[in-house]
Amino acid sequence: MEPSPPRYEFRSFAQQFGRIDFELRERAGAPEIRESAEVYLLSRATEFNVKLRSGLLDIKERIAVERGLEQWRPALKLPLPLSSDALQTRVLPALGVQIEALLPEEVDEQALCGVLRDATRDVVIVDLFKRRFGFRFESVQAEVVEVLVNGAAIRSVCVEGVDADDVLHLVEALGLLAYGNINYVAALKRITGLAAAPSFRA
């Protein structure tokens, strides 16, 4: 299977986004609705997007920042449970931590979270529930997301695609520039206190 190409992303977080939901429906029609429960592993030391979802460990890395957009690409996707070798050599480096304790031969989601909680204070585990309203255009995708972060509600709007010009065109048309671009990792670090308090709009 060919790896997914890097994608440019502009994401904002706020309690409300005014007319943006309406604008997306006007432009793209009825959204595709998806729900998921996810666990994010936030590292004090790195900016990798590391999450557990649908029986997979998924890691993305930011490879560039251009014209106010962030470019991300998939770095690793492994089915759970993980082997202890995969955890030590491929996952922990992305989190910037080392664990000297003896690990079981296979590590499922519950065991992985337990190992990290016991072994380090440099990784924070965050439970998310997402209800995503997806909109497809010719060259880009957009979504409005209702997010529960450890039970607390926030909303997110994202535009992404492989062509920076097309992404920026829709971002500007929607008025998203006024809300600023912040990715999930940075936003969750602020919400959980790993980084400075956010200035999300009310």
* Alpha-carbon gap, residue 2 to 13, rounded angstroms: 31
Model confidence pTM above 0.75: yes
Distances (CA, A) of 114 to 103, 117, 119, 154: 11, 5, 8, 27
Instruction: Walk along the chain (202 residues) and give the pLDDT tens digit of each residue.
Output: 567 899 999 999 999 999 999 999 999 999 999 999 999 999 999 999 999 999 999 999 999 999 999 999 999 999 999 999 999 999 999 999 999 888 889 999 999 999 999 999 999 999 999 999 999 999 999 999 999 999 999 999 999 999 999 999 999 999 999 999 999 999 999 999 988 765 545 4
- Residue 99 inside a domain? The answer is yes
Torsion of CA 189, 194, 198, 202, to 10 degrees: 70
What pLDDT score does 202 carry?
A: 46
- Residue 41 inside a domain? The answer is yes
Domain span at 64: 7-192
What pLDDT score does 196 carry?
A: 73
What pLDDT score does 80 carry?
A: 97
DSSP 124: E
Sign (positive or negative) of CA dihedral 74, 79, 83, 84: positive
- Residue 25 inside a domain? The answer is yes
Residue matched to tokens 């509600």: 153
- Residue 53 inside a domain? The answer is yes
What pLDDT score does 102 carry?
A: 81
CATH number of the CATH domain containing 178 = 2.40.320
DSSP reduced 3-state for 49: strand
- Residue 197 inside a domain? The answer is no
Instruction: Please name every residue paired with 179 in a beta bridge, in sequence order, or none if there are none.
Output: none
What pLDDT score does 103 carry?
A: 86
Burial of 166 per CB tally in 10 Å (0-12, 13-18, 19+):
middle
- Residue 201 inside a domain? The answer is no
- Residue 177 inside a domain? The answer is yes
- Residue 199 inside a domain? The answer is no
User: Helices marked H in 29-163 — which ranges?
Assistant: 84-86, 92-95, 109-119
Total tally of structural domains belonging to the chain: 1
